[in-house]
Amino acid sequence: MIRKKILVTGGAGFVGSHLCERLLNEGNEVYCLDNYFTGQKQNVVHLLKNPYFEMIRHDVTEPIFLETDEIYNLACPASPVHYQYNPIKTMKTSVMGAINMLGLAKRINAKILQASTSEVYGDPLVHPQPESYWGHVNPIGERACYDEGKRSAETLFVNYHQQNNVDIKIIRIFNTYGPNMNPHDGRVVSNFIVQALQNQDITVYGEGNQTRSFQYVDDLVEGMIRLMNSRDGFYGPVNVGNPNEFTILELAQKVIELTGSKSKIIYRPLPSDDPMQRQPDISLAKKELDWYPKVNLDEGLIKTIEYFKGVI
C-alpha cells in the first residue's frame, strides 16, 4: 500500500472531519488545515493519537508551503449565517484560498479537488440540475459572496488546469448533513434537530414549500474520494448529492416524528434569494464514478439525532 500525503483544508469542519478520518483509516498521512472559524478541534481531536495525523492552524487566504500528493480544498464557511457574517472574508476565502492552494498544487505537482456547491446553480430555473446548467445567481444578493466566490473558484481551477496543467477535480456538493455539524451552524437539519431535542419551536422559513435534497455525509465522502481517484482527464464538475427531494415542511415533520418531540412548527420570513427548489441530476457521478447515495433520509437523520443527543 502506498501511504499518500494528503492536505485537507477546512479539515476541522463538518465534512472535513469525516474526510480526514476516512483518509487516515485508509492508511494515508493527513494534514488537517483550519482557521477554526466554523470548525471545531473537538471534531478531529480523537484523530491526534494517530501519528500520521497533524493539525495546522492556518488561514487559506495566506500562502502555505507543504509537500503533499493530494489536496482537498474545503476551507469556506458553508452555512448562510456564517458566510454572510463577513461577506468580504467569505469571498477572499474562496478566491484567494483557491489561488493559494492551486499555486501550491502547481509548485508541488499535487492533485487538487475543489469543494464546490449546488449554490453555483443559484435559484435554479432548470430542475433537476445537471452540470451543464449555468445557473441563476444574483451577483449582488445576500448569497452572492458564497455563490460567486465558489463560481470564481471553479473558474480558477479550470484556468490553472488549462494554463498550467494542474491536475484538478471539481465536485458540486448538494445539501449534506450528519454528525459533527456545529449545533449553532444555522443550517436547516442541525437547527431542526437541536430545536426538536429541546422541545423548542421549529423555525420554518417562508411557508416551507421550498425543497432541498439531503445527502448523508458518508455518501458525500465516498463521492469525494472516488472523484479524486477518477480517471485522468476527467475533472467534472460533477454533482454529488441525494436526489430524494423534500419540502422544508416535510423535513420539519420528519424530525419531530423521529425525535418524538413536543415542538411546534412556527413560520419565519424567507431570507432573500433563498432557492425554491433543488435536486441533483447525478447521471454523471453514476457514469464516471460508479457512485450513488446509499443512506436514505430516515437512516441518516436517526444517526444525526443520536449525535446531537450527545452534544446538547
- Which residues lie near ligand UDP (CB under 6 A)? 79-80, 175, 187-188, 191, 203-205, 210, 212, 248, 270-271, 274
For 32, other C-beta atoms within 10 Å of its C-beta total 30
Choose the one of ligand UDP, ligand NAD, none that binds residue 60, judging by a C-beta under 5 to 8 angstroms depending on kind.
Answer: ligand NAD
CB of 206 to ligand UDP, least distance (A): 6
CB 244 within 8 Å of CB 296: yes
- Closest to 116 (Cα-Cα) out of 95, 142, 88: 95
Return the number of the residue (43 or 261) whose C-beta is nearest ligand NAD: 43
Return the number of the residue (202 or 227) whose C-beta is nearest ligand UDP: 202
According to DSSP, residue 241 is labeled S
Choose the one of ligand UDP, ligand NAD, none that binds residue 70, judging by a C-beta under 5 to 8 angstroms depending on kind.
Answer: none
Cell of 72: 482537498
User: How many whole angstroms separate alpha carbon 262 and alpha carbon 69?
Assistant: 50
CB of 103 to ligand NAD, least distance (A): 15
Return the number of the residue (266 or 312) whose C-beta is nearest ligand NAD: 312
Residue with cell 508551503: 65
Number of H helices, E strands in the chain: 9, 13
Residue with cell 426538536: 196
Question: Which residue among the candidates 31, 83, 121, 146 is catalytic per the annotation?
Answer: 146
User: How many whole angstroms separate alpha carbon 28 and alpha carbon 221?
Assistant: 15
* Cβ within 8 Å of residue 50, ≥6 positions away: 24
Return the number of the residue (160 or 261) whose C-beta is nearest ligand NAD: 160
Strand-pair partners of 245: 213
CB of 4 to ligand UDP, least distance (A): 32
CB of 268 to ligand UDP, least distance (A): 7
Return residues touching ligand NAD (CB under 6 A): 9-10, 12-16, 34-39, 59-61, 74-78, 93, 97, 115, 117, 173, 175-176
Choose the one of ligand UDP, ligand NAD, none that binds residue 76, judging by a C-beta under 5 to 8 angstroms depending on kind.
Answer: ligand NAD
Choose the one of ligand NAD, ligand UDP, none that binds residue 173, judging by a C-beta under 5 to 8 angstroms depending on kind.
Answer: ligand NAD
Residue 195: C-alpha distances to residues 84, 188, 234, 262, 307 (Å): 22, 10, 42, 10, 14
Choose the one of ligand NAD, ligand UDP, none that binds residue 213, judging by a C-beta under 5 to 8 angstroms depending on kind.
Answer: none
User: How many whole angstroms separate alpha carbon 273 and alpha carbon 84?
Assistant: 13
According to DSSP, residue 206 is labeled T
Return the number of the residue (69 or 142) whose C-beta is nearest ligand UDP: 142
CB of 91 to ligand NAD, least distance (A): 11
The question of whether 292 is a catalytic residue gets the answer: no
Catalytically active residues are 146
